[in-house]
């Protein structure tokens, strides 16, 4: 078996360069720290309440922001270089076709309940993530592809076997979706994992208490001594405590930060960035290195089944106007499905131009004619579409409302609905009710495209045989084959070329309209030093400390 890292030199120069820019953008004062001191409580304000904390579904930045403090992973992806480095695994190896991976675990690691980490527990974690658990309703992880089974070689050595090559698995072991949890946590039903106190990890903090929907209190583990190999320090975290409070109102979060009542806030809106800076606090903007913030269509709905209609709506979308109106310089205009510092990036700007006249011509060609009320219709059906806001995306409702105004100029109505919990979740699985849906995914690996579009993963297009039983006929076998091939291609150059081909195809079919490269933007007190972020922007407070 061959050892070493999967990351080749393919994009190394530009990845390092873009990482440096990202770090500089958070403000040099955050990086110039005196000697760290132990103690203190950091108060973290989030706009949303966490949902389920089952690691494979930790994709929201609310969920991931909690799990990143209480769970560790086998490996660590360096956010500057994207190299994979040791963490709970001190070394690893894999065979030529990447169908077998072996990990050697560190000694002395324990869960917060005192249970020692061993190969059997790690094997159980990935058997669950790779295969799911139907009895406990635990779904398969979108980051683990082609999984077959685990093998415990000895107490500190575990081997994983795959049905097909799985070149993305090493990077998958570094993601928040692969956080290692205790046997007690894995034995819970999926629904029970909404209780944060039940999530037992090996991380530097543990959940001490939770007031449902309001507050989660994390306490430091004084016995922690297994940070990533290249961490600035080892041993316990500097902070004694983290308090996560849910504060939906933007103005209240900003006010608390400025008044010194909170030290860190998530989802800082673009219009508040200058206010935070002028108050002497720090704006942190961190790229998510994956699929850009996009509007995605569901072609099973007959109104958007014709690619000419979808293409027309792409031409009708004035993306620069959206950015100028709603966002700051921290939100780059998308020039591809993928972020500029993501694998599979190619400049697709030519396909993303605003051209209202062309939009109208394409809608005419598709047979949608303008009625007396100004709304286009065909065979008695008006071109009226619906989308729910995505509450985890920055100013998403305002963005969709602006898109609605732009589409109305070519005779198309987009009704934008407020996210209302269960109804929105159910409706978003029905292409007849929601033919349009906003999406983005952060992951620094080529498999991110499969995560969003493959029917057995997030199924953004809603294909027959995927997540929804409401789909009548739509399937794109060509795209699905492309996504499967990307997940199994072991040559990094070929894999990247296949990824570019798939993103070209998605745009050629006008399945999606990428709007901007979505960052995670936070506000932080200048007194808090050593803030870190994993490779797609979730904060880590292991190295953080508060200046006295």
In a domain, 248, yes or no: yes
Residue 1's pLDDT is: 59
- Using CA atoms, how far apart are residues 533 and 287, in angstroms rounded to an integer? 10
In a domain, 196, yes or no: yes
Question: What are the angstrom distances between the C-alpha of 460 and each of 404, 438, 450?
Answer: 20, 9, 10
Pairing between strand 528-529 and 282-287?
Answer: unpaired
Give yes or no for a contact between 464 and 317, defined as CB atoms under 8 angstroms apart.
no
In a domain, 7, yes or no: no
> Of the candidates 280, 354, 343, which has an alpha carbon nearest to the alpha carbon of residue 515?
354
Structure-block tokens of residue 130: 């790779």
Residues 390 and 505 in one domain: yes
Helix/strand/coil (H/E/C) assignment for every residue in 469-487 = CCCCCCCCHHHHHHHHHHH
Structure-block tokens of residue 119: 């190969």
Residue 19's pLDDT is: 39
Residues 295 and 214 in one domain: no
In a domain, 27, yes or no: no
> Of the candidates 448, 438, 388, which has an alpha carbon nearest to the alpha carbon of residue 416?
388
Range of 214's domain? Answer: 41-287+521-546
Residues 414 and 341 in one domain: yes
The C-alpha angle 291, 88, 111, rounded to 5 degrees, equals 105
3-state secondary structure of 84: strand
Q: How many residues does the chain have?
A: 548
In a domain, 10, yes or no: no
3-state secondary structure of 286: strand
> What CATH number does the domain containing 83 carry?
3.40.190.10
Residue 28's pLDDT is: 34
Residues 337 and 415 in one domain: yes
Residues 201 and 126 in one domain: yes
In a domain, 8, yes or no: no
DSSP string, 202-264: SSSEEEEEEETTTEEEEEE-TT-----TT-S--SS-S-SEEEEEE---HHHHHHHHHTTS-SE
pLDDT per position as a tens digit, 90-132: 999 999 999 999 999 999 999 999 999 999 999 999 999 999 9
Residues 467 and 532 in one domain: no
Residues 513 and 527 in one domain: no
Structure-block tokens of residue 22: 């990202």
3-state secondary structure of 150: strand
Residue 25's pLDDT is: 39
Pairing between strand 264-266 and 282-287?
Answer: unpaired
Residues 297 and 262 in one domain: no
For residue 291, how many C-alpha atoms fall within 13 Å in the half-sphere facing its CB? 26
Domains identified in the chain, total number: 2
The rounded average pLDDT for each run of 10 residues, N- to C-terminus, in the chain (548 residues) is 45 38 38 79 96 92 96 97 97 98 98 98 98 97 97 98 98 97 98 97 98 96 97 97 97 97 97 97 96 98 98 98 98 98 95 98 98 96 98 96 98 97 96 98 96 97 97 98 97 97 98 98 98 96 96
Residues 268 and 397 in one domain: no
* CA 339 to chain CA centroid, nearest Å: 13
Helix, strand, coil share (%) of the chain residues, nearest 5 = 30, 25, 45
Helices assigned H by DSSP within 132-172: 169-172
Residues 370 and 471 in one domain: yes
Residues 388 and 534 in one domain: no
Positive or negative, the CA dihedral 358, 363, 364, 366 is: positive
- Using CA atoms, how far apart are residues 309 and 382, in angstroms rounded to an integer? 13
Any bridge partners for residue 417, and if so which?
A: 388
Task: Give the number of other Cβ atoms within 10 Å of residue 452's Cβ.
Answer: 24
Question: What are the angstrom distances between the C-alpha of 36 and each of 142, 280, 527, 540, 548?
Answer: 38, 21, 11, 16, 10
> What CATH number does the domain containing 295 carry?
3.10.105.10
Give yes or no for a contact between 385 and 435, defined as CB atoms under 8 angstroms apart.
yes
In a domain, 21, yes or no: no
In a domain, 407, yes or no: yes
Residues 244 and 352 in one domain: no
Number of H helices and number of E strands within the chain?
A: 15, 26
DSSP string, 99-126: SEEEEEEPSS-B-TTSPBP-HHHHHHHH
């Amino acid at each position: 078996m061959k050892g070493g890292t999967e990351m080749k030199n393919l994009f190394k120069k530009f990845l390092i360069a873009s990482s440096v820019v990202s770090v500089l953008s958070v403000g040099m004062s955050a990086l110039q720290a005196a000697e760290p001191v132990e103690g203190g409580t950091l108060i973290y304000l989030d706009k949303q309440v966490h949902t389920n904390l089952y690691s494979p579904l930790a994709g929201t930045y609310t969920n991931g922001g909690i799990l990143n403090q209480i769970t560790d992973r086998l490996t660590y992806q360096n956010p500057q270089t994207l190299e994979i480095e040791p963490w709970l695994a001190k070394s690893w190896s894999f065979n030529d076709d990447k169908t077998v991976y072996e990990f050697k675990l560190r000694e002395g690691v324990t869960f917060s309940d005192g249970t020692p980490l061993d190969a059997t527990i790690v094997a159980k974690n990935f058997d669950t993530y790779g295969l799911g658990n139907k009895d406990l309703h635990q779904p398969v992880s979108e980051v683990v592809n082609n999984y077959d089974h685990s093998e415990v070689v000895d107490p500190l050595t575990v081997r994983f076997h795959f049905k097909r090559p799985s070149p993305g698995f090493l990077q998958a072991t570094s993601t928040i979706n692969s956080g290692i949890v205790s046997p007690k946590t894995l034995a819970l039903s999926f629904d029970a994992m909404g209780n944060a106190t039940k999530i037992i990890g090996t991380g530097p903090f543990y959940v001490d208490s939770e007031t449902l929907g309001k507050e989660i209190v994390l306490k430091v583990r004084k016995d922690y001594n297994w940070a990533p190999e290249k961490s600035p320090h080892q041993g316990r975290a500097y902070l004694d405590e983290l308090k996560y409070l849910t504060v939906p109102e933007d103005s209240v979060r900003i006010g608390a930060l400025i008044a010194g009542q909170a030290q860190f806030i998530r989802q800082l809106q673009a219009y508040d960035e200058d206010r935070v800076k002028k108050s002497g606090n720090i704006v942190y903007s961190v790229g998510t290195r994956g699929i850009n913030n996009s509007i995605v269509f569901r072609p099973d709905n007959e109104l958007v089944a014709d690619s000419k209609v979808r293409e027309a709506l792409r031409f009708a979308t004035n993306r620069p106007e959206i950015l100028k109106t709603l966002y700051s310089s921290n939100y780059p205009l998308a020039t591809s499905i993928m972020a500029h510092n993501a694998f599979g990036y190619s400049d697709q700007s030519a396909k993303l131009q605003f051209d209202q006249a062309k939009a109208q011509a394409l809608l005419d060609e598709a047979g949608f004619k303008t009625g007396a009320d100004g709304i286009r219709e065909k065979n008695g059906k008006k071109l009226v579409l619906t989308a729910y806001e995505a509450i985890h995306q920055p100013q998403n409702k305002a963005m969709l409302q602006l898109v609605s105004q732009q589409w109305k100029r070519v005779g198309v109505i987009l009704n934008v609905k407020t996210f209302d919990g269960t109804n929105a979740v159910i409706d978003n699985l029905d292409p007849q009710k929601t033919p349009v849906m906003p999406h983005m995914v952060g992951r620094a690996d080529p498999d991110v495209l499969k995560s969003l579009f493959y029917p057995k993963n997030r199924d953004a297009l809603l294909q027959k045989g995927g997540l929804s039983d409401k789909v009548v006929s739509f399937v794109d076998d060509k795209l699905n084959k492309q996504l499967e091939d990307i997940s199994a291609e072991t040559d990094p150059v070929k894999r990247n070329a296949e990824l570019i081909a798939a993103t070209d195809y998605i745009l050629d079919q006008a399945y999606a309209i990428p709007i901007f490269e979505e960052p995670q933007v936070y506000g932080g007190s200048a007194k808090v030093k050593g803030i870190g972020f994993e490779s797609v922007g979730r904060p880590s407070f292991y190295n953080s400390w508060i200046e006295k």
